[in-house]
Structures are given as structure tokens and as C-alpha cells.
Amino acid sequence: MVVVLVAIGGLAFWANTAWNEAGAEAQRVRWVNVAITIPADSDIYYARLSSAPESMARGIMGPVLALGTGGDRSLVIVDATTGEVVHEDVLPTERAAFDAILATLQVAETEVAGEPGAPWPYGSAVPNTPRQEFENISYVEPDPASGISVQPGKAYLLGPQPAGRGSFIRVFNGRSQVGISGIGEVFVTGGSEFSLDQFTRADASLLEGIHPDDRAAFQRFAEGVQIGPPPTIPVAEEGTP
């Protein structure tokens, strides 16, 4: 797991970046300007990162797409802006599998929103996948081809806070991002705050912290977010340390 410090709406959040695995069907994955196809039932995982130590060592401070196998056996880092492979540490026995994926690497020339049958949430067809849950936040994972990543995390805030406010999901695609808390707050880059209902109904022109081509997609994603009762903290019995 990679730990990332994220700033949304002036607050600092620590988030865990999860590695996603390929499913039963070939999977198209997009991140910023690059897209790849991972074969069905591949053993190679992918992660869409804001940065990585291996790329930073090369002077590349921006977003990267990481490909790897379990147990840190092999790792490839791709500059998500240019498509350049900036780091490779691959076992010989896994070389062919990585080469097959890298052969599909493309630098996208069109916006996702402009693609025919655009992947959800740019398009309206919701994926037939199980809802994801993080504490009391439930959501539909965006299609990997949309280039939108969702990362659960915990916010470490000073002072008393409403139950559930410390949990959040970060929704981002490299140029636009929002944070949605466990009490239904939506934080937009630049400091704007909305309730979940306000955000989904807001005129797109008011969402200044989100790229114009992403606003409708981020609102469509938020429409599917459900906020349940915050988790309760067990109270220790008397005499229990």
C-alpha cells in the first residue's frame, strides 16, 4: 500500500492507495493521458497514483500508472502524462506478461466525455458491479476506462467532530478531485463545500474546482453515493483497561 497526503478544501487527508486487479474480462484502464488493456484474469495489478518514489527519482513529480505483481515481485511505473515508462524492475518469468500489457499502452487523444458510449460516470450506463463500502459510505466504482479513481481514507482533524466526519472517499482523475465525508460533506479543490444533495444539484458553472469536462461526471458519481449511520465505537465495560 502507498500512503498519499491529499489536500482537499484546505484540509489534509491521509489516504491509502489500493492496487486494483483485472477481472474475468479484459479491462481497459485509463489514468490522466494514458490507457492500457489488462487481459482477463491477469496476475498483474494496477494503481493510479498521484506520484511515486521511483518516478520522483527521475524528476517526474506528477501522476503515474503503476503495474505490479503480488509480493512486490515486479514493478513498472508509467508517466501518466506522457506515456513514458520511467521505471522497470520485472522478473524474467513475468517479462512476457508485462510486455503484452505495455504493447497496448496508448496516449489518449480525446476526452473521455467525448468518446462514443463513454464509460460511467461520463456515460449514463452504470456498471453492473457490486457497490463498494467504506465504513458508512457506499458507492459504485467508476468504470476503469473512465480514468476516475476512488480512494477511501481517514481525515485527522483537530477538535471534536461529528461521528463519521473522519471517514472520506477521494474521487479524482489527475486534474479534478472532490472529497466526500462520512457525514455527506463534499469538499471541492479551492475550498468550496457542499452537502451531497447540494453538490448533485448544483449548476455546473459553480463547481470551479472541477474541470468543466469532468463536472457532469463527478455529479453523476455523487448521485450514486449513499451515506449510512456512522459506525459506533464500542464502549469498554467498567474495569476494562
- All three cell numbers of 4: 498519499
CA separation for the pair 140, 228 (Å, rounded): 15
Q: Whose CA is closest to 46, among 149, 129, 131, 120?
A: 149
Question: Are 23 and 101 in the same domain?
Answer: yes
Question: Are 94 and 189 in the same domain?
Answer: no
Q: Whose CA is closest to 173, among 224, 127, 111?
A: 111
CA separation for the pair 168, 8 (Å, rounded): 11
Task: Specify the pTM.
Answer: 0.82
Question: Are 140 and 221 in the same domain?
Answer: yes
CA separation for the pair 181, 170 (Å, rounded): 9
Q: Whose CA is closest to 228, among 166, 184, 169, 170?
A: 184
- Total structural domains within the chain: 2
Question: Are 177 and 215 in the same domain?
Answer: yes
**What does each of the 241 residues of the chain score in pLDDT, given as a tens digit?**
344 444 444 444 444 456 676 666 788 999 999 999 999 888 899 999 888 888 888 888 889 999 999 777 899 999 999 999 999 999 999 999 999 999 999 998 777 877 778 999 999 889 888 999 999 999 999 999 999 999 898 877 666 767 667 789 999 998 899 999 999 999 988 778 899 999 999 998 888 889 999 999 999 999 999 999 876 665 555 455 5
Whether 57 is covered by a domain: the verdict is yes
In the chain, which residue ranges form alpha helices assigned H by DSSP? 53-56, 95-102, 196-201, 215-223
Question: Are 28 and 97 in the same domain?
Answer: yes
User: For residue 52, what are the domain limits?
Assistant: 2-109
Q: Which residue has the cell 458491479?
A: 129
Q: Are 180 and 164 in contact (CB under 8 A)?
A: no
Q: Are 17 and 2 in contact (CB under 8 A)?
A: yes
